[in-house]
Amino acid sequence: MSREPIIGVLALQGDVREHLEVLEQLGARVVQVRLPAHLAEVDALVIPGGESSVIDKLTRMFELAEPISDRIADGMPVLGTCAGLIMLANDLTDGIDGQRTFRSLDITVQRNAFGAQVDSFETEVNLPEVSPRPLRAAFIRAPIVTRVGEGVRVLGQLADGRIVAVQSGNVIGVSFHPEVEGETQLHEYFLGVVREHLT
């Protein structure tokens, strides 16, 4: 490998700080992506948790939606958590009127699938390809994956079988927040995907 990859974190709204902290802890070079010029500098992108309807509006307002979608189609590795998973999905149920996504992953995602904040929870999720031990995960007004298209691999499910982590090529999406728990394995796995892509 020729150089250390630069990882962008989409920094318009959401838990940007937590993702930056985990990536920095792993020694990654990070850039906050707020404008198209920032996107051009990065080798890979993390889409944080936040409010998906707001991230959608802001990426369109600042002309990032199309370039992000194009870069992902060209093979740029991307990791989305929670709202980030929603942003990656081809199809969305229970979005607000006119809500759009980058359409980078052939799945259907249901927004706010667990209900109100009092139904949010922490648990452990088995992601055998990512980590030998279960990851501590916060599900905060979280979405779930209700349909998985061809070529999309399920990385993790809840005990009741609901799908909460998927991967297709260089695109990884999870419905929970390992970064809120200070878990680093998923980001480490993502950095592995990025390095492999660059060689």
Q: Which residues are catalytic?
A: 82, 177, 179
When the beta carbons of 5 and 13 are compared against another protein, the nearer one is 13
When the beta carbons of 35 and 73 are compared against another protein, the nearer one is 35
Of the candidates 27, 17, 74, the one whose C-alpha atom is nearest the C-alpha of residue 191 is 27
Shortest CB 106 distance to another protein, Å: 24
The token duo for 64 is: 């990032």
Whole-angstrom distance between the N-terminal and C-terminal Cα of the chain? 6
Q: In whole angstroms, what is the distance from residue 126 CA to residue 124 CA?
A: 7
DSSP-assigned letter for residue 50 = S
Q: In whole angstroms, what is the distance from residue 47 CA to residue 32 CA?
A: 11
Shortest CB 134 distance to another protein, Å: 7
Shortest CB 145 distance to another protein, Å: 18
When the beta carbons of 130 and 194 are compared against another protein, the nearer one is 130
Residues at the contact surface with another protein, assessed by CB under 8 A: 11-18, 34-35, 49-51, 53-54, 57-58, 61-62, 82-83, 94-97, 111-112, 115-126, 134, 138, 140-141, 159, 177, 180-181
The token duo for 148 is: 């998985």
